[in-house]
A and B are shown apart, each in its own frame.
Chain A
């Protein structure tokens, strides 16, 4: 069975510094995809970044990058130059190898950016 683990319930980071949010996953399938979503206090789910298991390079989207280490089964999110607006819950999720994209989510990490 597939599983996502986020071991950091909460984290602090100083404004303008970089921060890494951890995500490990468990699957026996060679084909899968990994997502990161941001959930601000208003509650909506905002897509940040996607990494396919066969992608050769780490995904990047603006200040977000995904540190994909396949052998370690980790997909950490790196946020560079943190901003106050980055304070939110962050969820890592995985899609199965079929075409359904039925995501499995981790329990999330609450990030607080200090001014």
Chain B
């Protein structure tokens, strides 16, 4: 069972480079999320998408853009990476009527 799939799993970027984290879910979920987890901390919401074509800022959106082109996919873009964006990134999804939020396995990003 695929569930929520994130790519890449590991990435090293130089300061100022750009990259896109991809996320896809095969559960026909409406809502999708991007979180970041810094060392010793809980997850913080970057962006949220309630449905295809809609996005909403979370707690820490600065330096990120997102795109929800279809129901399955929700991508996170760093236009000009900074060392402060070194983190583990989690994508998640939820069905319209469910309480359970399913997470991907995480993407480890290091900006040097």
Cβ-neighbour of A107 out of B40, B56, B58, B99 (below 8 A): B40
Q: Interface size for chain B: under 10, 10 to 19, 20 to 34, or 35 or more residues?
A: 20 to 34
Chain A: residues with Cβ within 8 Å of the partner, total of 23
The complex places the Cα of A108 from the Cα of B39 at a distance, in Å, of: 11
B103 at the A interface (CB under 8 A): yes
Chain A nearest CB, measured from B10 CB (Å): 11
B100 at the A interface (CB under 8 A): yes
How many inter-chain contacts with C-beta < 8 Å in the A-B complex? Answer: 59
CB atoms of B90 and A45 under 8 A apart: yes
Interface set of B (CB-CB < 8 Å, partner A): 31, 33, 40-45, 48, 50, 56, 58-59, 88, 90, 92, 94, 99-106, 108
- Knowing that A33-B99, A43-B105 touch, tell me 5 more A-B residue pairs with CB under 8 angstroms: A47-B102, A99-B50, A105-B43, A107-B40, A108-B42
Interface set of A (CB-CB < 8 Å, partner B): 4, 33, 35, 37, 42-45, 47, 50, 52, 91, 93, 99-108
